[in-house]
Amino acid sequence: MAGPGPDSIKHAGDVPSVSSEEGIIRLAALEGHDADIPSNAGVIHENGVNAAAVDVEKGPQPAELAGGDPNIVWWDGDNDPENPLNWKSWKKWSNVYIVAVISFVTPLASSCFAPAVPQVMQEFHSTNSELAPLVVSVYVLGFAFGPLVIAPLSEMYGRLRIYFTCNILFVVFTVACALSTNLNMLIGFRFIEGCVGSAPLSLAAGTIADIIEPERRGSTMSFLGMGPLLGPIVGPVAGGYLSQAKGWRWVFWLLAIIGSASTLAGAAVMSETYAPAILERKTRRLRKESGNAMLRSKLDTGLGARALFARSIIRPMKLLFLSPITFALSVFTALGYGYLYLLFTTFADVYGGQYGFSTGTIGLTFLGMGIGSLVGLAAVGLVSDRVYQKKAAGGKKKPEYRLLPMVYFSPFMCVGLFWYGWSAQARVFWLVPIIGTSFFGFGLFATMACVGTYLVDAFTVYAASAAAANAVLRSVFGAMIPLFGQSMYTSLGIGWGNSLLAFVALAMCPIPLIFYRYGETVRLRWSPKL
């Protein structure tokens, strides 16, 4: 029943042991919540005390007594097979592969429908220039609101139930999209589809943190991260050819088939990985067997649904609106993300109307942006840690060092927009504007990577709330900006329309340089009470 505390769970490698405060913070950020909420390593309370040495009823105890309370339920030794970190490799990787598939399918649904929008508008006899992009972008709006509910529910009921429930609902509402008889139905079902489809984006990193040792987590996270990146890029390629051959409804039928297959595979091989949920289940079993009502899980801090929802909703909003750094960086990345989906919704007009591409071929034009995005992420991965270590050598380690690569990379968004807009306006060889979009993708994803790393380093214990604030604003912009895109291009043309977007982005490019120099002062002076 009682077992060794978290301090006995050590891991080799360059990642800190999860028994350290830094390790717990990083683990919590991966799991998608703040470090004062239970994780499989203990918690950090607001007073900075490690929960491994805290009795919920009696308060902090001497270190030598931690883990000695016979009413505390913990793992049965370091090699307890119930501990997800001790699972056999085949069991771990079966869970990883299923989560990777789901993490690819739901982002795939965000954009695969884009090339077929003209077909939808024609079938439903609509010429509304605002509804056309909304059919695509409303799915991303669901990505903004879904995690605010999914994250706390997963901490109340475990990850497995939430995965299954959301997977089934994703299939249901994807089928509903395929059967829609008017635009209002399609838009409404797409929004709900996006909400439930956000589950793997909310939970996947936490699943990896649950079952993979820290020294092996980096490569696994890279493997998992390919899905959310490649999904929106591969989607239009497949959706373009499928809608051309079979019609737009078959895009949703294909998504429903893939979603159903991944749901059935998950039901066959996935297991609960969230340590607090596993230990709570173990505690209930032991209470029933022993009749001891005093038993409690070591990872149970007594947080109720209200407290979990407060941390999932209120705290991110505080960080977003009361922290100037969080707000400014979030607006910058959200603006770029909105531009991304604006381009997604306009490629059909540009390459179909101006270059005469077929619906299937239009999907291939998204590959330029995908290649640029991959190169941008790789560039940040190569230089970020090197720059940070060089700047911090022999001095203070400042999170602001993470923004230095962004100073040089973010202007590529502007370069790409100018290049794409004016080359498309001049109707030069079709490959030239595609190269322009690759520069945009490079700048955008490099920027997002720098900001994400900075938020984790700057807000430590509350890193997940800072990341959630950024994600919510990003998804809202991703859904809203495309709504005025068509009218803007109609009024200004593709050249000046993209130039306007580029000028706005260019005006924001000094933000990382300003915060690189003065960010520490701003961050410490305007720190919201959380």
| CATH assignment of the domain containing 351 | 1.20.1250.20
- Express each pLDDT in 125-174 by its tens digit: 888 777 888 888 899 899 888 888 888 888 888 899 999 999 999 999 99
> Is 325 in the same domain as 262?
no
In this structure, is residue 257 part of a structural domain?
Answer: yes
pLDDT band at 411 (very low <50, low <70, confident <90, very high): very high
pLDDT value for 111: 83
The pLDDT of residue 19: 55
CB 378 within 8 A of CB 411: no
Statement to judge: residues 265 and 345 lie in one domain: no
Specify whether 39 is located in the same domain as 167. yes
One-letter amino acid for residue 253 of the chain: W
89, pLDDT greater than 60: yes
pLDDT by residue (tens digit) across 400-410? 898 999 999 99
Q: For 48-68, what is the mean pLDDT?
A: 43
pLDDT for the residue numbered 58: 36
Question: Residue 129 CB: number of other CB atoms within 10 A?
Answer: 16
* Alpha-carbon gap, residue 1 to 115, rounded angstroms: 57
Is the per-residue pLDDT at 359 higher than 90?
Answer: no
For the ranges 56-65, 246-255, 340-349, the lowest mean pLDDT is seen at: 56-65
Q: 29 vs 56, which has greater pLDDT?
A: 29
| 192 and 281 fall within a common domain | yes
Among residues 257, 282, 303, the one where a domain terminates is 303
Q: How high is the pLDDT of residue 20?
A: 67
Rounded distance, CA 511 to CA 415, Å? 17
Kindly report the average pLDDT of the chain as a whole number. 84
Q: Are residues 330 and 395 in the same domain?
A: yes
Residue 56 pLDDT more than 60?
Answer: no
In whole angstroms, what is the distance from residue 110 CA to residue 311 CA? 28
Closest CA to 312 of 166, 464, 210: 464
| Shared domain check, 353 and 285 | no
Same-domain check for residues 372 and 440? yes
Q: Considering the domain boundaries, does residue 309 fall inside one?
A: no
Q: Do residue 415 and residue 278 come from a single domain?
A: no
What does the pLDDT look like over 301-353, one tens digit per residue?
777 778 878 777 888 888 889 889 999 999 999 999 999 988 887 888 888 88
Task: Assess whether 404 and 296 both reside in one domain.
Answer: no
Write the pLDDT tens digit of every residue in 438-451.
Answer: 999 999 989 998 99
Judge whether residue 397 has pLDDT over 70: yes
pLDDT, one tens digit per residue, over 106-127 is 989 988 888 888 899 999 988 8
Q: Smallest Cα–Cα separation from 280: which of 164, 160, 149, 146? A: 160
pLDDT digit string, tens, across residues 488-498: 888 898 999 99
DSSP string, 487-528: HHHHHHHHHHHHHHHHHHHHHHTHHHHHHHHHHHHHHHHT--
Residue at a domain's end among 303, 335, 353: 303
pTM of the model: 0.82
Higher pLDDT, 216 or 109: 109
Residues in the chain: 530
* pLDDT level of residue 63 (50, 70, 90 thresholds): very low
User: Which structural domain, as residue segments, surrounds residue 29?
Assistant: 1-303
Domain count, the chain: 2
The whole-number average pLDDT for the span 412-427 is: 94
Domain end point (choices 271, 303, 335): 303
For residues 166 and 269, state if they share a domain: yes
pLDDT, residue 292, reads 87
* Residues 220, 343 within the same domain: no
On whether both 163 and 274 belong to a single domain, the answer is yes
The more confidently predicted of residues 432 and 44 is 432
**Does 14 have pLDDT greater than 60?**
no
